[in-house]
Amino acid sequence: MIKVGGLDILRRFKDETKLLLYTFLLCIAGFLNLAILKDPFDKGAITMATIICVLIGYSYFVIRKFFPKGDKYIFVYSSILAVIGLIMLYRINTSDAIKQIIWFALGVISFIFIVVLLPNLRRFSDYKYIYMGATIFLMSLGTLFGKEVFGAKNWISIGGISFQPSEFGKLFLVAYLASALKDYKNFKDLIQPAIVVAISLGFMVLQRDLGSALIFFGISVTMLYIATSKIKYVITCLGLFLGGGYISYLLFSHVRLRFLIWQNPWPYATDKSYQVVQSMLAIATGGLTGVGLGNGHPEYIPVNTTDFIFSVICEELGILTGFAIILLNFLLFYRCMRAALYAEDKFSQLLTVGLSSMIACQALVIVGGVINAIPLTGITLPLVSYGGSSMLSTFFALGMIQKVSEEGRY
């Protein structure tokens, strides 16, 4: 066991507190700017800033009080990303920002409940078939009952509330793979997980949710390598994925369209590739430092609160802020993977790796899409984009990672 002395805990506490103060300063400065821009002065923006700061500060206090030894940077970095997203959402659409702060509050509450109330995660390592059933069930809902939104059939509505089942399905997929791979001994142990992953990917292709398919593949390959340490399995998976992608390209017109736009979007700038072109123009307009908060034209960017919020941020706050968001995601990924290194059992380690990869892959895929580095996929930027399903599933994942961090050998 690695012991942490009182001086180390005190030093970490001071560093975390300093970063929290910077987070509060960012929140207040952003919303104060938006309040001043409106005539008359927008008191609602100040109220939003106050609620966010109180929520983040109290949540940090609760976690620090009950568990002083874990890695609190996981919560701090995620809070910074959420603050940036809430500021930009308030700038674009006030009603969406108000809804988002409710989802943010629910996400933070779920984060705290997982850390404080959930038993040791290793107790959940033997429910492989429950996780498998939940994964297949949730992945199939969009195919069977989903409604098409922006070309993808991955949304369902229950009682007037719409959500993406795959957002929660990927949590169960990670839990299943962690439970199935923790006892890996030979190739036979990989057959069942391979079938479950293939079924999940198949449902995503049928739903035209290529972004989720790419994320599931990234999660699966990362967990496979960590569990087996065999590069030949990773190469085999890459080959199978490329083969499946080529077959999908031949069978589905929407896949061919995405690749056509990716190769050269400009001939279709007013039609098929309008979203990507407007995104790149907005980023180019912002330059390094941006045109200023409130001075851009997010109304020209389609789906600007979800898929393309990164483009809006780059236009008004500059590419440097875009780099800062990428860096924050990298730091969050690093702290999450660091928790995996200190995990005391294989299940917790694999679970942490899978959840960390899930968040990182999602950020890379959507940022790559909006700058046209890879074919565009309609997914959200974790913690920054508008969306209740994404916010809740991300905080569920971070809560479990934080739990592993608190239980680890610090």
Domains of the chain by residue range: 1-117+263-410, 121-251
pTM: predicted TM-score of the whole model, two decimal places: 0.91
| Predicted pLDDT at 160 | 67
What whole-number distance in Å separates Cα of residue 308 and Cα of residue 277?
A: 11
40 sits in the region (left: phi over 0; alpha: psi -120 to 50; else beta) called beta
pLDDT (average), residues 145-160: 68
> Taking the mean position of all CA atoms in its chain, how far away is CA 291?
27
- Is omega for the bond preceding 265 within 30 degrees of 0, making it cis? no
Read off the tokens for 43.
Answer: 């008191």
Question: What would the pLDDT profile of 171-186 be if each residue is shown by its tens digit?
Answer: 999 999 999 999 888 8
Relative to beta strand 152-158, strand 161-163 is: antiparallel
What whole-number distance in Å separates Cα of residue 108 and Cα of residue 381?
A: 17
Contact 351, 177 (CB under 8 A): no
What whole-number distance in Å separates Cα of residue 110 and Cα of residue 299?
A: 33
Question: What would the pLDDT profile of 284-319 be if each residue is shown by its tens digit?
Answer: 999 999 999 989 999 999 889 988 999 999 999 999
Relative to beta strand 152-158, strand 147-149 is: antiparallel
Q: Pseudo-torsion of CA 323, 299, 212, 202, nearest 10°? A: -150
Q: pLDDT at residue 50 above 80?
A: yes
Residue 153: strand, helix, or coil: strand
What whole-number distance in Å separates Cα of residue 121 and Cα of residue 351?
A: 9
149 falls in which pLDDT band (50, 70, 90)? low
Least-confidence region, from 155-164, 202-211, 235-244, 334-343: 155-164
| Predicted pLDDT at 3 | 45
What whole-number distance in Å separates Cα of residue 11 and Cα of residue 277?
A: 47
For the chain, helix (H) and strand (E) counts, in that order, are 15, 3
